[in-house]
Amino acid sequence: MAPGRPAQLSEASVMARAETVLRVFVASPGDVADARRRLGDIVDELNYTWSDEKRLRLDLVRWETHAYSDRATDAQEAINRQLGDYDIFLGIMWKRFGQPTGRAQSGTEEEFARALEKHKADPRALRIMFYFKDAPRRCPRPQSRGVFALA
């Protein structure tokens, strides 16, 4: 091969494959940031371990990676508009409920309400999964009321 020229790929060396991609949106308040970060590692491991065999890949959708600041009236409005469709809503809660958005008691609640509305319209269009961190809770009463209302 001549220097500076890209290698030519033969038909035998290129193999396209079809796979199903499930977009998983994770919603949570800030007190479970560590769990949100670990989810990325878990999804990467699952994809590495069985995506070839199952022809299925998970795409983790988080506001940290899939949204950006824009001229929306508030940050949650920008997130709602930019995230696009997803197949699985994954909610994680612990002791905080989050910050009010003007439309809901917290961004997590607003995201859940939007997912629930979509699920009610077509239960096959979206799967909703909600998890609560199993650790001692010592939180302010106003925050705990919101968390326990979702349980």
pLDDT reported for residue 75: 83
The model's confidence at residue 116, banded by pLDDT at 50, 70 and 90, is very high
Query: What local confidence, expressed as pLDDT, does residue 145 receive?
Result: 57
Mean pLDDT of the chain: 84
- The bridge status of strand 88-93 relative to strand 127-132 is parallel
Q: Interior CA angle at 147 toward 26 and 137, to 5°?
A: 105
Grade residue 4 by pLDDT with cuts at 50, 70 and 90: low
